[in-house]
Amino acid sequence: MIQELDCRGLECPAPVLQVRNALENETPATLAVLVDNEAARQNVSRFLEHQNYRVSSELQGGGFRVVGTRTEGGKASEKSPSAPVTKKKESGTKKIMVLVTSVHMGHGDDGLGDMLMFNFLKTLKEMGPELWRVAFVNSGVSFTAAGSEAVPILQELADAGVQITACGACLAFFHILDTMQVGTVTNMLEIVTGMKEADSVITV
């Protein structure tokens, strides 16, 4: 039986959050969502597509029935060989998450910013075992891809048990999803929940 979620009468963003909860509890092969307005239909469709579902929708009883069917290839982050599953952090340690949002560090001169950022990544290991995760977004994702001098540095961190993640949408945006060399692909939900899980988040 197809799992059905009734989101009629709910205002944005509640329908999307309900669908998100449904996908978090289990990963249904097919999920049907009832909504009663066009904005909710489009938002739920977008969310399901974003979660690697194929989406169709039809008019039903003055509203819409949005049906998502899970496609293969989702959850790329779980398959990556470099996921540090064997080296868990010892419990009780503080977790620091570093969010790298650009190839430059700071504003002013970009050349200087490039040098500073490279130096920052090289020096990150000095944080020691409290460094839990480094997440790359926007142009920062290029550090994880072929051609970046930072790849061996990040690999060293990954080998030491630090989670290296890069935003999939950003990698796709810069057309370097295929050339990623270190770390795992992540999404905004994982970044956001990671921020919540971390004891401190450092954004550069």
Partner 1 sequence: MSKETIRLTQTVKGSGCAAKLSPGDLDRALCGLDLPVDPNLLVGLDRADDAGVYRVSDELALVQTLDFFPPMVDDPYSFGQIAAANALSDIYAMGGVPKTAMNIVAFPGKTMDISILRSVIEGGLDKMREAGVVLVGGHTVEDAELKYGLSVTGYIHPDRILTKKNLQTGDRLVLTKPLGTGIVATAIKAGLADQELTDRVTRAMATLNRVAALTMDDFDVHACTDITGFGFLGHLAEMVVDSGHGVRIVAADVPLYTEALEWAAMGLIPAGAYNNKNFRGSFVDFGADVSQKVQDVLFDPQTSGGLLIAVSAGEADRLVEALKAHGITCAAVVGEVVSEPVDRIFVV
Site string for partner 1, 21-50 (x = CB under 8 A): ----------------xxxx-xxxxxx--x
Residue whose CB is less far from partner 1, 35 or 150: 35
Q: Least distance to partner 1 from the beta carbon of 107, Å?
A: 8
Specify whether the CB–CB gap between 170 and 177 falls below 8 A: no
Binding mask 72-91 for partner 1 (x = CB under 8 A): --------------------
Q: What is the DSSP string of 133-152?
A: EEEE-GGGGGGGBTT-TTHH
Q: Please pick, from the candidates 29, 115, 160, 192, the single residue that binds partner 1 as defined by CB under 8 A.
A: 192
Q: Under the criterion CB under 8 A, does residue 53 sit at the interface with partner 1?
A: no
- Write the CA distances from 6 to 36, 72, 148, 197, integer angstroms: 10, 26, 47, 30
Least Cβ distance, residue 19 to partner 1 (angstroms): 8
Q: What is the rounded CA–CA span in Å between residue 187 and residue 166? A: 8
121 is written with which tokens?
A: 């990544």
For the stretch 68-71, contacts whose Cβ atoms lie closer than 8 Å and that sit 24 or more positions apart, written own/partner, are: 68/30, 68/31, 68/32, 68/33, 69/29, 69/30, 70/27, 70/28, 70/29, 70/30
Asked if 13 is part of the footprint of partner 1 (rule: CB under 8 A), the reply reads yes
Counting contacts by CB under 8 A, is residue 123 touching partner 1? Answer: no
Yes or no: say if 185 and 171 are a contact pair by the CB < 8 Å rule. Answer: yes
Least separation in angstroms between residue 155's CB and partner 1 is: 26
- 110 counts as binding partner 1 under rule CB under 8 A: no
Site for partner 1 in 124-163 (CB under 8 A): 137-138
Could you give the CA distance from residue 183 to residue 202 in angstroms, rounded to a whole number? 19
Report the interface residues with partner 1, using CB under 8 A: 11-13, 16-17, 37-40, 42-47, 50, 101, 107, 137-138, 167, 169, 188-189, 192, 195, 201, 203
